[in-house]
Chain A
Amino acid sequence: MSTRRRTRVPKWLFLAAATLLLSAAAALSLYAAVGCDLNDPDRDVKRLFPESTGYKTLYVSISKKGGDELLRRIEARLGDRFTGLFETSDVPYTMYEIYKGTDLIGYIHGVNQKGTYGGLQVFLALDLKGTIRGIYFQKLTSRAARAFRDAAFGAQFIGLSLSDFYSYDVVSGKEDPIGPVSRIKNPDPASERDFRAALRATKKNLVLVDEFVLSNAHLKFFKG
């Protein structure tokens, strides 16, 4: 009977290989894709949630959360395809969890959206049910930029949630049946494309928050 000696790999070799792999992974992660962050989180969180005492930052991406299947579901709920640099599945989304003491009181989340003359960065301040309590255009290049960033325009979004946006078609810019989104007035009819971009960004933002942190609380209202 022949016996074969088992070759044992020394432990130190395993350790060395693991260290090398971890270092390589750390180096690669430094070159990840760019997301949409608040420029000054301390100041912006306090402004959007004056009662807050702190916040936590979470990083989520479609690729890590659910991959292609999730991307298709998000596109279906948005009613449009994800295209361009800021709508790939590996874009890291920054989710700010807002706290008052130890209690979670809401979320702030921003998305990038292509506008007529430049990129838009649209942040929503949401309560725990995903209802908008504030909107903030961190960056906006438009002829009507001042009007879009005006408090009166932003006030029209307060109280709306994803359920209100489902009947709004981001491609045609129409709402069927007419609902609360149609009541949002474009402050400058000449900047219709930027107005629609703002609404698309808002709907996209709400869909992502619902998928990422609200456990799809609004999915039951989706009739897609």
Chain B
Amino acid sequence: MKKISIFEVAYKNLLRKKTRSVLTVLGIAMAAWVLVSLFGFNRGYEASLNKDIDNLGFQMLIVAKGCPYEAATLMLKGGTGLKYMNESIAATVAAEPEVDGVTPMLMQVVFDPNKGESGGLAAFLGVDPMTFPKMKSVLPFKAGGWFREAEAAEAVFGYEVAELEQREVGDLYLIPEKEVEVKVVGVLERTGTQDDGTIFLPIKTVQKVFGIQELTSIGIKVKKEADMKAFEDKMYKLPDVQVVSLSQVKTTILTLVSTARIMVFSIALIAILIALMGVVNTVLMSVMERRQEIGILKSMGAMAGDIFKLVWLETIILCVGGGLIGTGLALLTARLTDVLVRRLLPYSPSGGLVAIDVGLVLTALGVVTAIGLVSGVYPSWKAARMRPLDTIRSEVES
């Protein structure tokens, strides 16, 4: 005679009420799905944000007071409102002991009457070929590379602007309004930042073409061991400049996102509690329906521990099954979650927003199993302490 294991008994018990078991597993799967996706988002968002900030190459930006330092802001203002600072400030900042390197920049925006029916704007960022590429070493090139000379009539195109202008390495480009030709020497990969829409030129070329000898911003790379806060305070003392610390930017973005995150985590917690109650309810109902059966098992010699183990195992099977389906769903729909979250959030960094790894999957499975263990205790205990005679008698009486 084939000996049947306790696991098989538990499994077969669950199959007796298929719909109920499937619905309970689905409830747990949903909770596990939300849990894994949310924790994946939590990790992915912060990692991508850190990467974006690291990709900027510098931790601090100094701009002339009142000057919009973002291309988008410049565009909104119609390319006006640029304010300049003296070139000598770059040297002053570079002399500070905390500074690892500085890179001066000059942004210019021109009106291109031949874009659309009523014209459009084109943004140019003059950068120093000696310092900027070193700081932005992570900027990936799709083709070509940086310009090598300080006054070269050359340009590096961001991904989107190269696509729009259909420029490839070796092509020419005409700076609107100024009618100056430059040669494209590099095209960047898509970064998801404002670099995608920027045309980079050597700073000296921009100064010469636009007749401006000043700067709009200075990127600063601070030494790792430097006290960032003290250095920031020192920079605030410079006259007529504004300091933008990227650690501040990061904190602000994370604060904005954390409000939404707390709400979503609360929803996840509620989903888990509902799933837990669902499991307790299902297993308890199953125990009550099998009172006579449990009574007979006990009268045949089954100990309270055996009954406890059997019911507990049923609960764990439900939870582990739901956990596996839920984590699988989270892995399958990670890309979709990424797209949806990106649409909902006011700002999203360029990398993947949902990062699900083996560790997270195992943790989620562990949490769901723990839920199973906890939620199974009461129904199992209830089943274990049933007295055989009472249960059989109650069935006969009813």
Contacts and interface: CB of A to CB of B under 8 A. Distances in A.
A145 B165 CA distance: 14
Contacts of B329: 20
A145 B114 contact: yes
A86 B335 contact: no
Interface residues on B, range: 20 to 34
Interface string B79-118: 0000000000000000000000000000000001111110
- Which label, helix, strand, loop or mixed, suits the secondary structure of the B interface? mixed
Contact of A27 (B114, B163, B174, B339): B339
Contacts of A149: 114
A27 B335 contact: yes
B173 A141 contact: yes
Given A26-B336, A27-B339, A117-B172, A137 B166 contact: no
B332 A43 contact: no
Contacts of B179: 143
A176 interface: no
A139 B114 contact: yes
A2 interface: no
B167 A118 contact: yes
A112 interface: yes
Contacts of B332: 20, 24
Contact of B116 (A27, A39, A86, A114): A39
Tell me whether chain A's interface is mostly helix, strand or loop, or mixed: mixed
B357 interface: no
A44 interface: yes
A85 B161 CA distance: 13
Contacts of A113: 166
**Chain A interface residue count: which class?**
35 or more
A140 B114 contact: yes
A37 B8 CA distance: 63
A152 interface: no
Interface in A92-135: 112-119
A117 B166 contact: no
Which one of A43, A117, A137 has the highest number of Cβ atoms from chain B below 10 Å of its Cβ?
A117
Interface string A141-173: 111011001000000000000000000000000
Contacts of A30: 339
B117 A23 contact: no
Contacts, number: 72
A145 B115 CA distance: 10
Given A118-B166, A119-B165, A40 B173 contact: no
A26 to B, nearest CB: 7
B335 A24 contact: yes
A132 to B, nearest CB: 19
A68 to B, nearest CB: 23
Contacts of A47: 117
Contacts of A141: 112, 114, 165, 173-174, 176
B181 A139 contact: no
B116 A139 contact: yes
B164 interface: yes
Contact of A117 (B22, B163, B181): B181
Nearest to A10: B22
A16 B205 CA distance: 59
A50 interface: no
Contacts of A12: 22
B333 A139 contact: no
Contacts of A39: 116-117
Contacts of B116: 39-40, 138-139
A84 interface: yes
Interface string B113-136: 111110000000000000000000
B164 A119 contact: yes
B166 A119 contact: yes
A44 B181 contact: no
Interface of A: 12, 20, 23-24, 26-28, 30, 34, 39-40, 43-44, 47, 84-86, 112-119, 137-143, 145-146, 149
The 8 closest A-B pairs by CB, nearest first: A117-B174, A119-B166, A145-B114, A118-B165, A27-B336, A114-B166, A39-B116, A140-B114
6 contacts: A40-B117, A43-B117, A85-B163, A117-B174, A141-B176, A145-B113
Given A20-B329, A142-B174, 6 more contacts: A20-B333, A47-B117, A118-B165, A141-B114, A141-B165, A141-B176
